[in-house]
Amino acid sequence: MPSLRTRPAVILLLASALAVVGLVPAAVPAAAATVPVGSGSYSDTRPPGTSGPTTNTGTPVTPKLTTAARNRPVPTNDWWSSLAFQRYGDNPWSTPMYGHPLTYQATAGGLDVGYPTSPAIVGDGRQYEYAHKRDLTIGLTGLNSPDTKADDWSDWTVTPLWSDGARTLRTTIGHGSPFVYARGSGGNAQITTAGAPTVFADQTNLLGITVGGHHYALFAPTGSDWNIAGTTITAGLGSKDYFSVAVLPNTDALATYTKYAYSFVTDSKVTWSYTGGTTNATYTLTTEAKEGTERGTLQALYRHQWLNTTDALTSYTYVSPRGTMKVRESASFTTSQKAAAVLPALPKSNGVDAARLRGYLNEVVNAADPFSGATDTYWTGKALGRLAQLVPVAEQIGETGTRDRLLGLIKDKLQDWLTAGDANEFSYDKDWKTLTGYPASYGSDTELNDHHFHYGYYIYAAAIVAQYDQAWAADSAWGGMVKTLVRDTANPSRTDSSFPFLRGFDVYAGHSWASGHQGFAAGNNQESSSESTNLSAALVLWGSATGDTSLRDLGTYLLTTESESIAQYWFDADEQVFPSSFGHDTAGMVWGSGAAYATWWTANPEEIHGINVLPVTGGSLHLGGEKTAIRRNIAEMERENAGPAVEWRDILWEFQSMADPATAKAKWDAGNAGYTPEQGESKAHTYHWINTLDALGAPDATVTGDIPTSAVLTKGTTRTYVAHNHGSSARTVTFSDGKTLAVPARSTAIGTGSGSQDPDPPTGNTFQLRSGGVLTTATDGTSSSDAIASAGGANHDGTPHQPLVYEVRGVNGTLTPGTGTAFRLQVDADTAVGLGQQARVSYDLTGDGTFDRTETYNYFATDPVAGWEEYTQTRGLKASTGTLGDLNGGTIRLEVWSAIGNGASKLQTGTDKSVVVIPYN
Q: What are the angstrom distances between the C-alpha of 730 and each of 137, 543, 773, 881? A: 62, 18, 47, 44
3-class SS shares of the chain: helix, strand, coil, % to 5: 25, 30, 45
Rounded Cα–Cα distance for residues 185 and 166 (Å): 8
Q: Is residue 78 among the annotated active site residues?
A: no
> Of 179, 138, 172, 137, which is closest to residue 152 (Cα–Cα)?
172
Q: Identify the burial level of 88 via C-beta atoms within 10 angstroms of its C-beta, where 0-12 means exposed, 13-18 middle and 19 or more buried.
A: middle
Rounded Cα–Cα distance for residues 648 and 681 (Å): 9
> Do 287 and 263 form a contact (C-beta atoms < 8 A)?
yes
Q: Give 169's strand partners.
A: 162, 184
> Of 87, 11, 126, which is closest to residue 527 (Cα–Cα)?
11
Q: Identify the burial level of 576 via C-beta atoms within 10 angstroms of its C-beta, where 0-12 means exposed, 13-18 middle and 19 or more buried.
A: middle
> Of 743, 746, 752, which is closest to residue 703 (Cα–Cα)?
752
The distance from CA 753 to its chain's CA centroid, rounded to whole angstroms, is 31
Report strand pairing: 148-153 vs 198-203.
unpaired
> Do 455 and 391 form a contact (C-beta atoms < 8 A)?
no
Report strand pairing: 136-140 vs 120-122.
unpaired
Q: What are the angstrom distances between the C-alpha of 519 and each of 63, 449, 584, 794? A: 14, 12, 26, 43
> Of 876, 776, 774, which is closest to residue 821 (Cα–Cα)?
876
Backbone angles phi, psi at 485, to 5 degrees: -65, -40
Cβ contacts of residue 693 below 8 Å, gap of 6+?
346, 657, 658, 661, 664, 699, 713
Pick the catalytic residue from 78, 135, 531, 706.
Answer: 531
Rounded Cα–Cα distance for residues 100 and 107 (Å): 19
> Do 185 and 110 form a contact (C-beta atoms < 8 A)?
no
- CA end-to-end span of the chain: 59
* ∠ CA 566-571-576, rounded to 5°: 100
Q: Is residue 681 among the annotated active site residues?
A: no
DSSP-derived 3-state class of residue 619:
coil
Supply the DSSP string of 820-863, one letter for each residue. --EEEEEEE-TT--S-EEEEEEEEESSSSS--SEEEEEPPEE--
Residue 47 preceded by cis peptide, ω within 30: no
Q: In what helix (H) or strand (E) does residue 656 lie, and over which residues does it extend? A: helix 649-657
Q: Is residue 147 among the annotated active site residues?
A: no
Residue 68 DSSP symbol: G
Q: How many helices (H) and strands (E) does the chain have?
A: 14, 52
Q: Give 737's strand partners.
A: none
Cβ contacts of residue 733 below 8 Å, gap of 6+?
705, 706, 707, 710, 721, 723, 725, 740, 741, 743, 749
Question: Which segments within 212-262 are labelled E, that is strand?
Answer: 214-219, 227-229, 232-235, 242-248
Question: Which segments within 556-703 are labelled E, that is strand?
Answer: 589-591, 594-596, 698-699
Pick the catalytic residue from 135, 527, 575, 855.
Answer: 527
Q: What are the angstrom distances between the C-alpha of 251 and each of 200, 254, 257, 751? A: 8, 6, 10, 59
User: Positive or negative CA dihedral for 437, 726, 395, 683?
Assistant: negative
Q: Which residues are catalytic?
A: 450, 527, 531
